[in-house]
């Protein structure tokens, strides 16, 4: 079977990078390289042109790509069918940008269906929506508002953006922070693809505020630790700020609300487990 090699080919073709494909697949870079080379050598075909840091598809690779995409789609459909065919058991896969809204749903869901296995992976908005579109998860909770005819959407809740600072930071003396007061301070932000980062950049750009050095940190937990060490300040959803005597939570001028949405592919909304989870989300939202 060529399943592993074809998955490696598909991911490298999509991303143009062995390194990025390996991260997506949860494999080592040498493993993905070997899988691609095995596929090419076994059939005496060149699938990629290797020049510079990015790989580009050859004519043969371009012709192969839609066939592999269709094959992997069929595999995902079969796997999804088998997981949702039992009357009691099964597995529900969830991706979320934050645990705060989704974990209450998971708790109630497992109380009602204790035999069902549930997995939750955390990432930024771009990552969790990609996981949904690529059929790696069944539902996705994201703060990104996405208008897509392929998806159905439920609102889980919303939260204001606030400023988190160490209690010894100069801004800690304020209760309400004008945006101009942020100028010059070190700002801690998530990586590109984060909705919170996009909202923060838009807020400051509209106010014509130039902040100090940007420190990019890839997880909200690490950002909170950096604020606790007084390394910088961070604009963050109110619910994400932990209760800690070392922290001050300040309101911000013109702070937007950041909503959390639950997404599911329309083609799978009536499957047993996604349908049960979507129904629960709607039920709890109406409480």
Q: What pLDDT, on a 0 to 100 scale, did the predictor assign at position 286?
A: 64
The rounded distance, in Å, linking the Cα atoms of 253 and 181 is 10
- Asked if the model's pLDDT at residue 176 lies above 90, the reply is yes
Instruction: Give the separation between CA 263 and CA 141, rounded to whole angstroms.
Output: 6
> Residue ranges of the domains in the chain?
3-66, 91-156+259-285, 159-258
Same fold, 91-156+259-285 and 159-258: yes
| Cα 197 to Cα 12: distance, rounded to the nearest angstrom | 27
The string of pLDDT tens digits covering residues 44-100 is 899 988 776 678 898 888 999 989 988 888 887 787 777 766 555 688 999 998 888
pLDDT in tens, 179-223: 999 988 999 988 887 888 888 888 988 889 887 778 888 788 888
Q: Phi and psi of 107, rounded to 5°?
A: -60, -50
Percentage of the residues of the chain whose pLDDT score is greater than 90: 33
- Determine the average pLDDT of the residues in 168-176: 93
At 88 the pLDDT is 53
More confident residue, 285 or 205: 205
Q: Does 10 or 98 have the greater pLDDT score?
A: 10
What does the pLDDT read at residue 89?
67
pLDDT at 69: 87
Domain 3-66 has CATH 1.10.10.10: yes
Which residues 6+ apart lie within 8 Å of 67 measured at CB? Answer: none
The hierarchical CATH code for the domain 91-156+259-285 is 3.40.190.10
Prediction pTM value: 0.66
Query: Domain spanning 159-258: which superfamily?
Result: Periplasmic binding protein-like II (3.40.190.10)
Averaged pLDDT for residues 131-144: 91
Q: Map tokens 């989704």 to a residue.
A: 102
Predicted confidence (pLDDT) per residue in 216-251, tens digit: 887 888 888 999 999 999 998 888 887 889 999 999
Yes or no: say if 227 and 247 are a contact pair by the CB < 8 Å rule.
yes
Quote the pLDDT of residue 232. 92
CA distance 268 to 200: 34
**Strand locations in the chain, DSSP E?**
48-51, 54-57, 91-96, 117-122, 139-142, 151-166, 176-177, 187-189, 214-216, 234-237, 247-252, 257-265
What pLDDT, on the 0 to 100 scale, is given for residue 86? 58
């Amino acid at each position: 079977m060529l399943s592993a090699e074809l998955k490696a080919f598909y991911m490298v073709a999509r991303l143009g990078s062995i390194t990025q494909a390996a991260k997506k697949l949860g494999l080592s870079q040498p493993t993905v390289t070997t899988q691609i080379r095995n596929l090419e050598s076994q059939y005496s075909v060149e699938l990629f042109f290797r020049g510079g840091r990015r790989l580009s598809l050859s004519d043969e690779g371009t012709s192969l790509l839609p066939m592999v995409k269709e094959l992997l789609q069929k595999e995902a459909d079969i796997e999804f069918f088998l997981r949702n065919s039992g009357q009691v058991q099964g597995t529900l896969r969830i991706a979320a940008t934050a645990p705060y809204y989704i974990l209450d749903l998971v708790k109630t869901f497992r109380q009602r269906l204790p035999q069902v296995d549930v997995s939750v992976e955390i990432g930024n908005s771009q990552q969790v929506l990609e996981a949904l579109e690529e059929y790696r998860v069944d539902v996705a909770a994201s703060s990104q508002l996405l208008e897509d005819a392929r998806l159905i959407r439920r609102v889980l809740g919303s939260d204001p953006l606030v400023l988190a600072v160490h209690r010894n930071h100069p801004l800690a003396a304020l209760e309400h922070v004008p945006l101009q007061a942020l100028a010059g301070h070190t700002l801690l932000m998530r990586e590109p693809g984060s909705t919170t980062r996009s909202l923060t950049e838009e807020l400051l750009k509209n106010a014509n505020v130039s902040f100090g050095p940007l420190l990019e940190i890839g997880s909200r937990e690490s950002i909170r630790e950096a604020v606790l060490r007084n390394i910088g300040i961070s604009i963050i959803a109110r619910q994400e700020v932990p209760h800690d005597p070392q922290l001050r939570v300040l309101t911000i001028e013109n702070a937007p609300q950041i909503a959390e949405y639950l997404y599911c592919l329309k083609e799978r909304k009536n499957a047993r487990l996604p349908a049960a989870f979507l129904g629960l989300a709607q039920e709890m939202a109406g409480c």
